Amino acid sequence: MQIDLSVRNITKKFKDFIAVKSVSFDVKDGQFFSILGPSGCGKTTLLRMIAGLTEPTEGVIEIRGKSMVGIPPNKRPVNLIFQQLALFPMMNVGENIAFGLFRRGEKKTIIKKKVETILERVELSGFENKKIDQLSGGQKQRVAIARCLVLEPAVLLLDEPLGALDLKLREQMKVELKKLQAKVGTTFVYITHDQSEALVMSDFVAVMNNGEFEQIDTPQNLYNNPKTPFVAQFVGDNNTWTGRIRQCDKYIAEIETDEGHLFRTKVEDAFQTGLSVDLFLRPEAMLIQPAPNIANLNRFKVIIKSILFDGANSQLLATRPDSKKELLVALPQNRQYDYIQVNDNIEIGWNEQSGICFPRKQLP
Amino acid sequence: MKHQKRWALFFFLTPVILWLFLLIVLPHIDLLIMSFRIENDAGEMVWSLSNYAQFFEEPIYWRTFVRTAVYSILVTFLTFVIALPVALYITKVVAPRFQGFLTLLLLLPFWVSELVRVYGWMILLRESGVINHFLIKLGILNRPVEMLYNDATMILGLIYTSMLFMIVPLIAVLESLDNSLIEAAYDLGANMWTILFKIIIPHATPGIVSGSIVVFMLTLGNYLTPNLMGGKNSLWFTEQIYNQFIASFNWNQGSAFGFLLLVLSSIVVWLGLKLTRQTLRTVVK
């Protein structure tokens, strides 16, 4: 498969602040590639460098095998969808979409045809003469996408375009964007701080922190096998413990947490006894009242502190009787656990394969 | 409560209305009446259109009038052409912390009266002035040239005088232009000129029109700068009005000229608004 975008050792320094540190990645033709990171991690800077709006300090960006060094944004085969969409308020929808085509000097009749086709594709047929301020948030979104897609870019860059929408619309646009990408087959590079956007839409996700990529992987792998503590923490909900290795045989370690509890969990390496570790556990890895015959569970009693009802994402907030540490336990809404009340004493168990354990970074 | 509100409105509006009525409307009505009256042979004041007829009969009057109109439009346009890059630089290029400082620098010359500023230019440009002195010292000229008292110098002075009134509305309107619009246009394949004509100028139109109206009116009604920098070679219509009032003591003729100038400026402003599809309401905002 053709590689549409290749970024190699790209670095950006602003005076004494390094926004992007030697980042490298490839995006294949037709992929939906997301860069996920907290605000201020350098992801927008990275995207702007790909678009050509910011000049990298070091490194090479290649688009379809052609180096982009010194090529201004108006000559690059990439288009950027801005966070605030940046639709031109002085033009109507049709003129907005035709803007790039006119700059290329295409014929008027062809432009008209292309605008019609692309509007049909984003399901806004007949909107040519509408003013921008007559559109709803979702419609503006689609006009912004159409304005870029009509130019048939090698790579479409999206800078948190769903950020300004309200929750309901955002959920809807997530699915729509994914479908649209599959339909048009353009390579998308999408940046976001919202993990659910990245996980739902992408083929590959790069998790970025402090200007560096922590892990590039499929959404499933990111969630199930995070390679760094940051990824484990940033992607998905977590229960976190800190503790020390008591003993470690091959890939199962016994950990004593700071609260004095013992857990058995799988580990990637044979860790030394006494090593400080962080232990992460997904809320859904904890089973409520597990059947006595299930083996290899870390079982313990907890007291329910509160029930956080949120539909399919409902959780229990619980503590062990002898500690104050609060645990998040997923509460499946299949009516099976409706009997659970606050202050109930129940048993919780988690499989030793579900734990994610990393050696603790030594604090300087 | 309602009664109180009305009283407050009345209280604050009264001085404005009094000022407008006593100092603007009333004198203008008087001038309008005066412009239609002449002294007949018997020394009595009678109604007549001859003050206006005089204007069309005497070429120097209407030629000066047309000249003033054309040059005012030219000055307005040139001021805009110079002010736009300055305003763009201050709002879009320079770091935000210098913006206030640069705007202050623009404002600074206006702390000095127009008279002093024009004299400043005269010191620079006159035959024995600073520029001539240096040009001769450098051997570029071998004898001093009179740079004052021509159309070019007068236009320079008028542009300098009205610069600020164009830049300030432009800065205000460009500040509201989202940078990402410029970047989006650039990203979509536009070059600098397309961005200027398709994005920046359409966005800035209300500011451009309000700046232009102010500059045009100020220039049209300027007396000092054309008089001092243009001298006898560059006549301005305000000088004709002055001459009628002060030199000829013909207030009736002067009033007619004054009204012609008022009509001219109203027509040009109205045309400008129509051409740019703006309304006075959006421009005044």
User: Is A35's Cβ below 8 Å from some Cβ in B?
Assistant: no
pLDDT (0 to 100) of residue B2: 64
How does pLDDT run across B247-256, given as a tens digit for each residue? 888 888 889 9
CB contact under 8 A, B180 and A86: yes
Q: Kindly report the CA angle at B135 between B149 and B229, in degrees rounded to 5?
A: 15
Cβ neighbours of A90 in B, within 8 Å: 198-199, 202-203
pLDDT (0 to 100) of residue A363: 55
CA B185, CA B199: separation in Å to the nearest integer? 8
Q: Which residue of A has its CA nearest to B203?
A: A90
What DSSP designation does A310 have?
A: B
Q: Which residue of B has its CA nearest to A89?
A: B203
pLDDT (0 to 100) of residue A15: 85
Give the closest of B189, B202, B203 to A74, CB-based.
Answer: B189
Rg (CA), chain B: 23
CA A225, CA A231: separation in Å to the nearest integer? 9
Distance of CA A150 to the CA centre of its chain: 26
Any idea how long chain A is? 364
Q: Enter the tokens of residue A28.
A: 């294949």
Interface predicted TM-score (ipTM): 0.80
Cβ neighbours of A86 in B, within 8 Å: 178, 180-181, 183-184
Q: Which domains does chain B have, with CATH numbers?
A: 52-284 (1.10.3720.10)
pLDDT (0 to 100) of residue B285: 64
Q: Which domains does chain A have, with CATH numbers?
A: 3-234 (3.40.50.300), 239-359 (2.40.50.140)
Q: Kindly report the CA angle at A138 between A135 and A141, in degrees rounded to 5?
A: 90
How does pLDDT run across B200-243, given as a tens digit for each residue? 999 999 999 999 999 999 999 999 988 888 877 778 888 888 88
Give the DSSP H or E segment for A257: strand A252-257
Give the closest of B187, B189, B203 to A51, CB-based.
Answer: B187
How does pLDDT run across B63-85, given as a tens digit for each residue? 989 999 999 999 999 999 999 99
Give the DSSP H or E segment for A319: strand A315-319
DSSP states of A321-337: TT---EEEEE---SSTT
- Tell which residue, A76, A69, A36, has the closest CA to residue A55: A69
Cβ atoms of A114 and A101 within 8 Å: the answer is: yes
Confidence of residue B106 (pLDDT cuts 50, 70, 90): confident
User: For residues A171 and B282, which has the higher predicted lDDT (pLDDT)?
Assistant: A171
Cβ pairs A/B, distance under 8 A: 58
CB contact under 8 A, A80 and B191: no
Is B184 a residue whose pLDDT tops 90? yes
Query: Rounded to whole angstroms, what are the CA distances from B254 to B69, B135, B239, B248?
Result: 18, 43, 10, 9
CB contact under 8 A, B185 and A88: yes
User: Is A15's Cβ below 8 Å from some Cβ in B?
Assistant: no
**Lowest mean pLDDT, pick from A113-117, B105-109, B155-159:** B105-109
Is B96 a residue whose pLDDT tops 80? yes
pLDDT (0 to 100) of residue B127: 83
Q: Which residue of A has its CA nearest to B179?
A: A86
Q: What is the pLDDT along chain A (364 residues), one digit of tens a residue?
A: 788 899 999 999 988 889 999 999 999 999 999 999 998 888 999 999 999 999 999 999 999 988 988 899 999 999 999 988 899 999 999 999 999 999 998 899 999 999 999 998 888 888 989 999 999 888 898 899 999 999 999 999 999 888 878 888 888 888 888 888 988 889 999 999 988 889 989 999 999 999 999 999 999 999 988 888 899 888 888 888 888 888 887 778 888 888 888 888 888 777 888 888 889 999 888 888 888 888 888 898 999 999 998 888 889 999 988 888 888 999 888 888 888 888 889 899 999 888 888 888 765 4
pLDDT above 90: percentage of residues in chain B: 36
